[in-house]
């Protein structure tokens, strides 16, 4: 029991800390895509930024799925009992799934395009909307009804 609590705490800390890496990569990817729009160059560096963003978002998803089914913050029988259980059980999960899907679709669609400007345009649109959804779906500390903190 004690080791299970420690493992759960490690996953929660990893999920919370990894959010910053995901946000930084996503912001870099969006800024990069907007800066490169109109220019006809797609470098290996551009591809790495977009790919690493995709990888870290999916890593965050895997940790999130484990937490979804093991965390005490998600209760299926009383999901709508209060703001915190509704947020973690529905709002956070749905928002993040939509955002991750948008990032995956944006990356996949950009791979199929041969013109560099169109690649950056596709990435900028999908990644920007995903960033907005992620920012709205994070349990920020100022949302006191969620009982959230920085970690």
* Cα torsion angle, 24, 27, 30, 33, sign: negative
pLDDT digits (tens, 9 = 90+) for 44-90: 999 999 999 999 999 999 999 988 888 766 667 776 777 777 777 78
User: Of residues 151 and 112, which shows the higher confidence score?
Assistant: 112
d(CA 83, CA 57): 25
Q: Are 32 and 116 in contact (CB under 8 A)?
A: no
For the full predicted model, state whether its pTM sits above 0.95.
no
Reading the block at residue 60, the tokens are: 């965050």
- The answer to which of 6-15, 28-37, 44-53 has the lowest mean pLDDT is 6-15
> pLDDT confidence of 143, banded at 50, 70, 90?
low
Cα angle for residues 58, 64, 68 (degrees, 5° grid): 145
Q: Are 27 and 56 in contact (CB under 8 A)?
A: no
pLDDT of residue 92: 85
Distance between start and end Cα atoms, the chain: 22
Q: Are 23 and 61 in contact (CB under 8 A)?
A: no
> pLDDT confidence of 38, banded at 50, 70, 90?
confident
Helix (H, G, I), strand (E, B) or coil at 150: coil
Q: Is the pLDDT of residue 32 over 80?
A: yes
Q: Is the pLDDT of residue 17 over 50?
A: yes
d(CA 8, CA 71): 7
pLDDT of residue 150: 47
Q: Is the pLDDT of residue 122 over 90?
A: yes
Q: Is the pLDDT of residue 13 over 50?
A: yes
Q: Is the pLDDT of residue 127 over 70?
A: yes
DSSP string, 85-140: HHIIIIIHHHHHHHHHHHHHHHHHHHHT--SHHHHHHHHHHHHHHHHHHHHHHS--
């Amino acid at each position: 029991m004690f080791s299970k609590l420690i493992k759960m705490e490690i996953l929660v800390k990893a999920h919370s800390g990894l959010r910053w890496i995901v946000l930084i990569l996503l912001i870099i990817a969006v800024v990069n895509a907007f800066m490169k729009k109109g220019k006809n160059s797609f470098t290996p560096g551009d591809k790495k930024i977009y790919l690493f963003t995709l990888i870290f978002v999916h890593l965050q998803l895997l940790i999130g799925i484990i937490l979804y089914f093991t965390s005490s913050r998600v209760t299926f029988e009383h999901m709508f009992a209060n703001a915190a259980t509704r947020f973690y059980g529905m709002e956070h999960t749905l928002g993040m799934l939509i955002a991750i899907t948008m990032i995956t679709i944006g990356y996949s669609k950009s791979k199929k395009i041969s013109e560099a400007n169109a690649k950056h345009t596709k990435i900028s649109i999908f990644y920007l909307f995903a960033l907005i959804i992620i920012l709205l779906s994070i349990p920020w500390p100022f949302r006191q009804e969620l009982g959230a903190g920085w970690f």
